[in-house]
Amino acid sequence: MWLLKIAILVALLVIVRKAAAMHKAKNDPIADDRCVSCDSADLEMLTAAAYRCNACGYEGGSGRKVTPKPSASRLLNAPPPAGPESGE
């Protein structure tokens, strides 16, 4: 029975520590000079505060939330682009 209590106590401790780490990470500013996914400095700037990592392909940065990706429904309902194969 005491083994079960220790296991529960350890599980609760892990949960509390993870929650505290996530809270801290959520409130920290996002760096725009290194990729948060792979820590590479080889970045292509998309906007002043958003980037695409050339090493791993991750897109992020502090300004990424203001340049959202187009939604799937918007892409599906969009007219096809005009080009040489469309006859225009």
Query: Is the pLDDT confidence value at 69 over 70?
Result: no
* Residue 14 lies inside a defined structural domain of this protein: no
* Residue 25 lies inside a defined structural domain of this protein: no
pTM of the model: 0.45
* pLDDT band of 43, cuts 50, 70, 90: very high
Work out how many domains the chain is built from and give that number. Answer: 1
* Residue 61 lies inside a defined structural domain of this protein: yes
> Among the residues of the chain, which ranges form H helices?
2-27, 72-77
Q: 62: which residues sit within 8 A by CB, 6+ positions away?
A: 29, 30, 31, 32, 49, 50
* Residue 15 lies inside a defined structural domain of this protein: no
CA distance 85 to 88: 8
Residue 38 sits in which domain range?
A: 30-67
pLDDT tens, position by position, 6-36 = 999 999 999 999 998 888 877 777 778 888 8
* Residue 23 lies inside a defined structural domain of this protein: no
